Chains A and B, each alone.
Chain A
Amino acid sequence: MTEISVVEAVRLAHARAMAEDDTVLVLGEDVGVNGGVFRATEGLLERFGPERVFDTPLSEALFVGLAVGLGAQGFRPVVEFQFMGFIYPAIDQLVNHASRLRSRTQGRLTCPIVVRAPYGGGIHAPEHHSESAEAMFTHIPGLRVVIPSSPAKAYGLLLAAIRDPDPVVFLEPKHAYRAPKEEVADDGQALPLDRCFVVREGRDITLIGWGAMMTEVLTAADRLAEEGVSAEVIDVATLKPLDMETILGSVSRTGRCVIVHEAPLTGGFGGEIAARLADRGLVDLLAPVKRVAGYDTVMPLSRLETHYMPSAARIVAAARQALDYA
């Protein structure tokens, strides 16, 4: 078994899903001949043909609406956005149609679609290419919101998303697209769409993150370990629906918690987790819940983006505050 990257795992999951189900289609800009701007769909056109893989015109609002029509007719389209920054024209289709077609027709018409978009900063991309808007999607009833952090999770969660009978927004951390790599078995095994992953067990504090931030979170956990602090690390992975049992279980043991995300602090999904901890886990908390997030600024262009992105150092500093609290 060779080690593969997140983007290779995404490609592998597409191929697996398309091979096992003829109704799975791939749509988007440059996904066919060019194999996608990140090569996430490379080889799919050659293998599955032009009636399964479609290069669409450059119309973002259209892709998702097109997928809604295909989904209602029993297909399972997977739509690729080149960057999350271009997804906003399609929000109308996600809010008004994809997420509620099942509900508004009482199950008569359904929307088994996946909307994929690379998100986040750290690769020195142009303007509008580096934002993290996951919280916007978690606010939409009827959607699932999934963010893998590793090749194995990208493979298993994307398979699950494609097989799921409801619309899934699948956000891929492009900072983690090429590295690190890991061994992934192409065994068709999906991962659950409603569970957080405890990626490291610990006793003293719980560090919670998702997507590309997991690299920083794990680095922070390593540094804390050097100081003798045992940090438990949780990869949320499926933001909606949110598995609070795992988070509450961890915090009930550690009593302290830092939540990390790239997205701006205000209205970020960390606020939702913190609110639920305050509601259900208050008696277990030994310190205030800390959040390390992007600042409430416009995502800066590449020269200053590292100052915006939460770093292991900021996470360690927040953890110390939580640990030092009386």
Chain B
Amino acid sequence: MKLMLIVRVILMITFTQSFNAWAEEARPLQTDVVTEAQVHRLSQELRCLVCQNQTLADSHAELAQDLMQEIREMAAKGMTDQAIIDYLVARYGDFVRYRPPMKSSTYLLWLGPFVLLIFGAIGLVMMLRRREQMPADKPISPTEARKVRELLNKE
């Protein structure tokens, strides 16, 4: 029992200390709740340019960390989301945004799916119309019935 107690105490000390170490590292995050919320919001809207299919929030690339730091500083200065996004777009282009802006070069991107949807709907209507015009079911003639029976009884 005594041994167990000692082990437990040692474990507790180690864990508390490692948690302390973590808290130490994470401290810059706690500076300002509003700023942090803004950084968090923005980092999910912006793309990491190194690992291009990740947001800044998901990425562990060094550049992403640097950009987060940059955003944090701008947010701390009281810049709006739009101002910060504009700042990054001016340097890295629209590509940093996960939601591309609506402009002439992106019309196809934004409207393409709807155009395809319209084409699909037209195709569907055309197909249904054609199906309507097909001859209605009519009872089979005695000759046909005999043929069917013959085929079925072949085995």
Q: Do A and B come from one complex?
A: no
Binding site for A on B (CB under 8 A): none
